Amino acid sequence: MRHLISPMDLSVQETEELLLLAERIMDAPKDFSHLCDGKKLATLFFEPSTRTRLSFEAAMLELGGQVLGFSSADSSSAAKGETVSDTARVVSCYADIIAMRHPIEGAAAAAAAKATVPVINAGDGGHHHPTQTLTDLLTIHRWKGGLRNLTVGLCGDLKYGRTVHSLIKAMCRYEGVRFLLVSPPELRVPDYIREDLTAGSFPFQEVERLEDAMDQVDILYMTRVQRERFASEADYLRLKDSYILDTAKMKLAKEDMIVLHPLPRVNEIAPQVDNDPRARYFEQALCGKYVRMALILKLLGLARPSLPEAAAPQPQIIPSLSCGNPKCITAVQPGLPHLFHPVEGNAHLCRCAYCDHTCGGK
Ligand code: CP
């Protein structure tokens, strides 16, 4: 049984196969319309969503399956104190596959550890959003003709924007990819992402002005400032309009550049930009449905399997070490074992298996 918790849970080969399958579904959806007859998808959304939940549900319906679930924590027994581990174990009795969104980092990993059906992380706090990444990769693949030799500009809230973290992790694996990270100092990428970029010698540059990046990028990935992750409303109000992409800035960009945004947008892309042929964020939202159809087929074992992959390293308990991230699922779910992976190249550090927070003292 496979889960999708991080974009790295799929190999490069599997990811490319998935994108090709999504394109085949796009071209001939009727050929796939009964592959999930009799199957059920549970959508467990403890946080608001429009695209992710509805595209997952549309994906399963278009494959011939059925859907059940909830769209807010208030309408589930989480409101009575149930843990995500127990919820996942119970819902495994009612559905063949689970897509879950939760505000706590590492919650999907905790759910997967107890579920008896595949679990898909549909967003865990400010940590990861791997199916948005598959959506982004499919959009880039279709409109840029491939995933290699691209300069990717990511702009906005790079600290809390989980789609940014997942996209960087995934795109690092392609040759010739370079990142321009555009954010205010307060909203730079988290340490674990910067450490990965540095350790892998992946070319990246952090800049504050969007104008300084516009003429270099092949893809401009705009993001919303994530109000719900700020401890201080005053900080949010100060930073929320740090970047606004408008028609004047679009004039600085390459003619074949594309603009992506995971959506929802608030104020960071002026509506006039929607009329620019380089704006691809609504096509991106459509790609999300097809790539989720492909993912459901793969995780249910209904797509042609790829070559067997080497087994993933198992996380370990390290005596007397616990995760220090107050936003990690281990901080809110009592009894969850604190599990860690070693950090490559540093024998004294390890990383929380749920939220990736770097911890010392190994
Ligand atoms: N891109 C994305 O995750 O959108 P929703 O929050 O609407 O699901």
CA distance 123 to 359: 23
% of residues, the chain, pLDDT over 90: 89
Provide the pLDDT for residue 268.
Answer: 97
Residue 108: pLDDT over 60: yes
Distance from residue 92's CA to the centre of ligand 1 (Å): 24
Residues 257 and 183 in one domain: yes
Residues 100 and 137 in one domain: no
Residues 63 and 200 in one domain: no
Closest CA to 245 of 227, 226, 220: 220
Provide the pLDDT for residue 362.
Answer: 46
Residue 118 DSSP code: -
Residues 263 and 146 in one domain: yes
311 within some domain: no
Provide the pLDDT for residue 62.
Answer: 98
Domain final position from 299, 329, 351:
299
Q: What rounded mean pLDDT belongs to the chain?
A: 95
212 within some domain: yes
Rounded to an integer, the average pLDDT of 280-301 is: 98
Residue 112: pLDDT over 70: yes
309 within some domain: no
Residues 118 and 165 in one domain: no
Q: Which of 35-39, 75-79, 255-259 has the lowest mean pLDDT?
A: 75-79
247 within some domain: yes
Distance from residue 13's CA to the centre of ligand 1 (Å): 26
Q: What is the pLDDT of residues 25-41, one digit of tens each?
A: 999 999 999 999 999 99
Question: Which H helix or E strand runs over 237?
Answer: helix 233-239
Q: What CATH number does the domain containing 159 carry?
A: 3.40.50.1370
Residues 196 and 123 in one domain: no
Residues 273 and 144 in one domain: yes
CA distance 294 to 245: 32
Provide the pLDDT for residue 344.
Answer: 79
Considering 101, 102, 224, 289, which one is annotated as catalytic?
101
Residues 230 and 348 in one domain: no
Rounded to an integer, the average pLDDT of 268-281 is: 98
Residues 52 and 93 in one domain: yes
70 within some domain: yes
Residues with Cβ within 6 A of ligand 1? 49-52, 123, 132, 262-264
Which domain covers residue 55, as residue numbers? 7-129+286-299
Residues 18 and 118 in one domain: yes
Distance from residue 199's CA to the centre of ligand 1 (Å): 30
* pLDDT band for position 297 (cuts 50, 70, 90): very high
Number of domains in the chain: 3
172 within some domain: yes
Residues 139 and 219 in one domain: yes
Rounded to an integer, the average pLDDT of 225-250 is: 94
Q: What is the pLDDT of residues 141-177, one digit of tens each?
A: 999 999 999 999 999 999 999 999 999 999 999 999 9
Residues 75 and 149 in one domain: no
> Cα separations (Å) of 110 from 85, 104, 113, 174, 268?
6, 10, 5, 29, 34
211 within some domain: yes
